[in-house]
Amino acid sequence: MIAYFVGAFFMIVAGWILAIMSGWNLPYEILRGGLFWMKANPWKDVIIAACLLALGILPFLRPRSQRTESTFLIPSRLGEVRMSEPAMKDIIVRSAQSLPGILRVQPSLRQREDGLEVLVYAQLNPEFIIPETTEQLQVKIREDLELYTGIKVVEVKVLVRSLEPARQLRVR
């Protein structure tokens, strides 16, 4: 948020300078009058300068929020267990790699109130039947995630991004 104010301040200063440089006397007269006022009121200047300095330092003193890794809560009788998003994605990738016809997958997860929603971008081998292969992929991902994590999987969406033929070996 502070970046917007700083950006707006610099845009105003740039406009002010351009107005003075174009020969418009009003911005120059306002600036000159302000400088004379500052010279005549030193104690007010100190207070204004201290306030501006405090406002300038404030963003640096505020603790920066560190980006926390997204985690998912796993039900447990003994306490809280959380699993990171990269670990969940590893399970999905391993599940997909165990199926024939799946060349590459890129999973995306979203926590919903009723469970987990999985979106998988897949690259398939065109020699396999797409509806059957994607259905097997959906079932395998749902089963493995629920088995290994205990988190209910509400929906598994598959987006086939590309079909790549299997590489043929050259015989010399």
Please give the domain boundaries of the chain with CATH numbers for all domains: 2-61 (no CATH), 71-163 (3.30.70.1350)
d(CA 81, CA 71): 10
User: pLDDT digit string (tens) for 10-60?
Assistant: 898 898 888 888 888 888 888 889 888 888 988 988 898 898 888 878 777
User: pLDDT digit string (tens) for 112-166?
Assistant: 888 899 999 999 988 899 999 999 999 999 999 999 988 899 999 999 988 876 5
Q: What integer pLDDT is reported at residue 170 of this predicted model?
A: 46
Q: What is the pTM of this model?
A: 0.57
List, in sequence order, every residue forming a beta bridge with 105; answer none if it has no partner: 122
What share of the chain has pLDDT > 90, as a percent? 37
- Asked whether the predicted pLDDT for residue 79 surpasses 90, the reply is no
User: pLDDT digit string (tens) for 7-24?
Assistant: 888 898 898 888 888 888
- Asked if 151 contacts 172 with a C-beta cutoff of 8 angstroms, the reply is no
Q: What integer pLDDT is reported at residue 169 of this predicted model?
A: 43
Output the CA–CA distances (angstroms, integers) from residue 37 to 43, 102, 105, in the order listed: 11, 75, 68
